[in-house]
Every structure is written in C-alpha cells, then in structure tokens.
Amino acid sequence: MNLVVDSGNTRIKIAVFQTNTILERQDFSKENFLTEYEKILKKYPEIDHSILSSVTNFDLNHLEKLKNDLDLLVLDTETPVPFKNDYDTPKSLGLDRIGLAAAAVNQYPEKNVLVIDAGTCITYDIKTAQEVYLGGAISPGLEMRFRSLHKFTANLPLVSPKPDAQLIGKSTETSILSGIINGIKMELAGVIESYRTEFEDLTVIITGGDSQILSIPLKNSIFANSNFLLEGLNFILEFNKTQ
C-alpha cells in the first residue's frame, strides 16, 4: 500500500493507494501535516511505501519522519520515470509536470495526450503516442491574474473569481470577470485547437483546483480528473519499485 504526498506552497495533498486505486485523499495546511499523517498511518497500517513531491522546501522533521516510517522515494528530476523526457532543460522541469506526464503514460498508453493543469499557474504538457514528453507551456493562473490587475494598477479592485462571466462587462467588476474568465476559456480553447492540428487523435485531460470554476466544455476526447497528479506520482512510485 502506498502513501502519496504532494506538498505545495501552502497546502499538502496526500492519498492512499492500493495498487492503482485511491482509497482516501486528504487536503490540509502544512502546519497540520504530522497530525493528519499519523491519523492516516493508524487507519492504514498496511502502508509501507511512499513518494514525496514538493515544490518548496519540505520540513526536515517531517521528512525524517517519513523516512523512518516508510520506504520513501523523494521525487526529483533525476528520478527514473516511465517516459522519455525530451525537454531541453530537464533539470528545470517542475515535479508536478513530471507527475502529470507519468499519469498520461499510465492511463493513456500509446496515445497523444495534452494535460492542462489549472492551478496557481496553468500548465500545458504534451506526451506523444511514443511515450515521449515534449514540453508545453506555462501561463498565469486564475488567482494570479486577478491579483495582478489589482496589484499593478491604482484603481482596479481585487475581484473574486466566479464560474460565469458576461461577454460585455457593465461595471469594473464584471469587466474584470469578463476579461479574465472569458479570456482563459478562450485561451484554453485556442491552445487545444492548436494542439489538435499538430497531433492526431488527441486526448485532453483537464485537472487542477480551478478547472471547475473555468467550466471547460467537455467533449468526447476531453476528460476531467481532479486526482490526475496524485495518480501519476503513484505510478512513478510503482515504476521505481521495479527498477
């Protein structure tokens, strides 16, 4: 049984896997890690392996605890992965993007897959039917765009995201909502269409915390999966057990 730990800037996601099946998922602040971690171990004493992916410095005491309790794999850019990495600067590739590419390989083998992660940033990652990761794009995320308008202008307010926005804003607030919400939706539609012209039979995966707010229309080849990164990290852990 595996424990997947995904540590972000302020929050931590953990998931318990039995092979490829998620048994439980938790999302909490970094300050609560030890408390929640110990609850999970008590509930699932069969957990014996773990993988840690951290975009920032992970608390050293927490790291030692994981190492002492479990067979721990700390993901980095040198970790063996189940795909060929054709990124020009592989050492700079984000661990989240590595995990998403691994999930694409695991769940959609021998298919062209575009993964869109709508989080702090919006990332686009493409892996080919030959299981080659090519790269993609990084764009400002939803909250970043709202905060940027407020921070870098004298009079624009900080507006809260909403799932729907009029095309024509009738106030400063609704104009901001139109520009950001509709702008991102049009960006996503345009990027997907551009990739479709380059890659045949493209499968598109939408994930990330803001994917529901953006309410991207789902077609036959577009799928939403909120656990895609966690599933990819678990696949990397399973892959490394055989190395």
| 215 pLDDT tier (thresholds 50, 70, 90) | low
Q: Which of 76, 86, 96, 164 is catalytic?
A: 96
DSSP codes joined into one string, 87-134: -SSGGGS-HHHHHHHHHHHHHSTTS-EEEEEESSEEEEEEE-TTSEEE
Cα angle at 232 between 64 and 79, to 5 degrees?
55
CATH architecture designation of domain 2-74: 2-Layer Sandwich (3.30)
The contacts of residue 80 (CB under 8 Å, 6+ apart) are: 239, 240, 243
pLDDT at 216: 67
Mean pLDDT of 44-70: 93
Question: Where along the chain do the CATH 3.30.420.40 domains lie?
Answer: 2-74, 84-234
Three-state secondary-structure class, residue 77: coil
CA–CA separation, 226 vs 45, rounded Å?
26
CA–CA separation, 94 vs 110, rounded Å?
23
Q: In angstroms, what CA-CA distances link 33 with 14, 38, 195? A: 9, 8, 39
Backbone angles phi, psi at 54, to 5 degrees: -130, 125
pLDDT at 213: 81
The per-residue pLDDT for range 127-170, each reduced to its tens digit, is 999 999 999 999 999 999 999 999 999 999 999 988 889 999 99
Q: What mean pLDDT is reported for the chain?
A: 93
84-234, superfamily in CATH?
ATPase, nucleotide binding domain (3.30.420.40)
Is 88 noted as a catalytic residue in this protein?
A: no
Answering whether pTM is above 0.85, one says yes
